[in-house]
Amino acid sequence: MKKPKLIPLDFVIDKLTNSIENTTTGEVFDTVIVRLTTKDVKQITQADWKFDWVKEIKDKSKEVYKLTTENNPSIIQGLLSIEDKQDHIFMHLIESAMFNKNKGKVYLGVPGNLVAYACKVSIDKGYQGFLAFDTKSILIKHYQETLHATHFRGLRMFIETNAAMRLISQYFKS
């Protein structure tokens, strides 16, 4: 059986907020992260997303989550794909909606929110917050500085308990 190719992640932590923050007004919006369902897939058009999220949701080894605001759950702000590796969580994909990327983005904090959620899943499963992911080499230093992630070897990085707890407490108050 052919081993699936891991995609090195290239998300940028634009700002660690306590939710997501409007780039123009500075207004903060409370967020909700829930499992993406097959019903939600119709909201995801291939032209608006870099990754094939339909394929991702069909992969039974992965859990796919969507980030929305509490007040507007019909607009997906970002998506996350993770896998339970029985002793840690592996983050396969993470992506902000097209309108939350680059110079004209609407909200800050989407990637940080999703990474914090993946760490929370790891805590909830008893894995002490351990989260692993592969990244592009040019972003290793960025993740070390913003997420306090540790470079393991090659393109593999991980977030350990203290860094995970820092992120979780930033985004999840309860």
Is 14 inside a domain boundary?
Answer: no
pLDDT, tens only, 140-161: 999 999 999 999 999 999 999 9
The three state secondary structure string of the chain is: CCCCCCCCECCCCCCCCCCEEECCCCCEECEEEEECCCCHHHHCCHHHCCCCHHHHHHCCCCEEEEEEECCECCCCCEEEEEEECCCCEEEEEEEECHHHCCCCCCEECHHHHHHHHHHHHHHHCCCCCCEEEEECHHHHHHHHHHCCCEEEECCEEEECHHHHHHHHHHHCCC
CATH value at residue 50: 3.40.630.30
Is 25 inside a domain boundary?
Answer: yes
Give the count of domains, the chain.
Answer: 1
Q: What is the pTM of this model?
A: 0.94
Is 74 inside a domain boundary?
Answer: yes
Is 10 inside a domain boundary?
Answer: no
Residue-number span of the structural domain to which 66 is assigned: 20-169
pLDDT, tens only, 11-41: 989 888 888 999 999 999 999 999 998 888 8
Report residue 174's pLDDT band, with 50, 70 and 90 as the boundaries: low
pLDDT, tens only, 100-109: 998 899 999 9
